[in-house]
Amino acid sequence: MDRQFTGTGTSNPVFASLPKLDWNSDLLFKNLFARKDEIPTPAVVGRGNVRLVHDSDASRSGSQIVLSGVSQYVGMGARKTLVLKDINATFEKGRYVGILADRGAGKTTFANLLTGNLRPDVGDIHHGLRVSWPIGARQILSNAASLRANIRFLSQVYQCDFRYLLEETRDFASIPATMIDRSLSEISSEIGNRAATALVLFMPFDILVADDTIMLGNASFRLKAMQRLKDLRGSRGLVAITRNVSVVRELCDDCMVLSNGTLVDYKNRGDAIRAFKVKATADDDEDDDRSNETNSDY
């Protein structure tokens, strides 16, 4: 039997015993109970539905994330805009999928829907897997706590080995020993970003979500992260939502294009890249024309 999650869960008793830190409670709640027999009733009701698949339904769900008729708006009132329209897509563990999208196409919105940080205004998202937060995103970490405390908390929530996660994160992100017990607000953003990336790459997620933040940081660390993603192929899934064609070429088996609110699934990765480049070039030309028209008025 499917379980339906439509609330934030921030008022649920399970969080009463956890540190009062600025965690992304939606994401933690969804993943914490994704494999449990009982999912407590949330206190707040949302608009769209995020369905968590019970273990006994694993064969029916096929270990997938399924988006069915998902539409999403941003803004309010006169500025309310439809950014995603009737999205239907399936993502599986073991497959690396690229979603090419230009600036303003809804990359962040799409990533937030996949990770559970946002509920769809219309449609359903059917979850049977543990999904990461976007690689490199620091919102999951508390600036008020040390890196050690953050890792200890997340290891308890996601039921993974604390010592392993601490050592792998510290080694992979090249974090000085003197920084481990300092609050994140006291360390550089570069170290914090590397730590957030390393945490995702060594935690037991079924599907990793990446957006353009995967290309942040120094070149040597980006190469290291890309190699780690290659090493995880087969044991993880990946959804890379980006405008960076090289990331898709290097990592992804399949490719889709997100444009004008619609998601088009191309069977051939090369066809998807060509279609994206044509669309991006056309948009750039249109922007140039508008700029010239504006300049001619003055």
- Residue 2 has a pLDDT of 37
- Residue 140 has a pLDDT of 80
CB atoms within 10 A of CB 126: 18
Rounded to two decimals, what is the model's pTM? Answer: 0.75
- pLDDT category at 42 given cuts 50, 70, 90 is very low
CATH number of this structure's domain 3-294: 3.40.50.300
- Residue 46 has a pLDDT of 35
Residues 168 and 198 sit within 8 Å (Cβ to Cβ): yes
Report CA-CA distances (Å) from 210 to 58, 64, 143, 150, 260.
25, 17, 22, 21, 21
At 228-265, the pLDDT tens digits run 999 999 899 999 999 999 999 999 999 999 999 999 99
Residues 53 and 130 sit within 8 Å (Cβ to Cβ): no
- pLDDT category at 127 given cuts 50, 70, 90 is confident
Q: What is the DSSP string of 73-108?
A: EES-GGG-EEEEEEEEEEEETT-EEEEEE-TTSSHH
Kindly report the backbone phi and psi dihedral angles of residue 189, in degrees, each rounded to the nearest multiple of 5, phi listed first. -65, -30
- Model confidence at 278: pLDDT above 60: yes
At 185, is the secondary structure helix, strand, or coil? helix
Which residue from 203, 225, 217 is spatially nearest to 151, judged by alpha carbons? Answer: 203
- Residue 280 has a pLDDT of 74
Residues 63 and 92 sit within 8 Å (Cβ to Cβ): yes
- Pick the more confident residue, 127 or 186: 186
- pLDDT category at 159 given cuts 50, 70, 90 is confident
- Residue 19 has a pLDDT of 37
- Please provide the average confidence, as pLDDT, over all residues in the chain: 77
Span 208-213, mean pLDDT?
86
- Residue 25 has a pLDDT of 42
At 51-96, the pLDDT tens digits run 544 333 444 445 789 999 999 998 888 888 999 999 999 999 999 9
Report CA-CA distances (Å) from 26 to 15, 30, 57, 113, 230.
11, 6, 23, 11, 29
Span 3-11, mean pLDDT?
32
Report the chain's C-alpha Rg in angstroms.
Answer: 20
- Residue 166 has a pLDDT of 96
- Residue 175 has a pLDDT of 94
- pLDDT category at 284 given cuts 50, 70, 90 is low
At 4, is the secondary structure helix, strand, or coil? strand
- Model confidence at 45: pLDDT above 60: no
Position 261, amino acid: G
- Residue 30 has a pLDDT of 46
Rounded to 5°, the CA angle 224-127-238 comes to 20
What does the block give as tokens for 151? 């890792």
C-alpha span between 115 and 27 (Å, rounded): 7
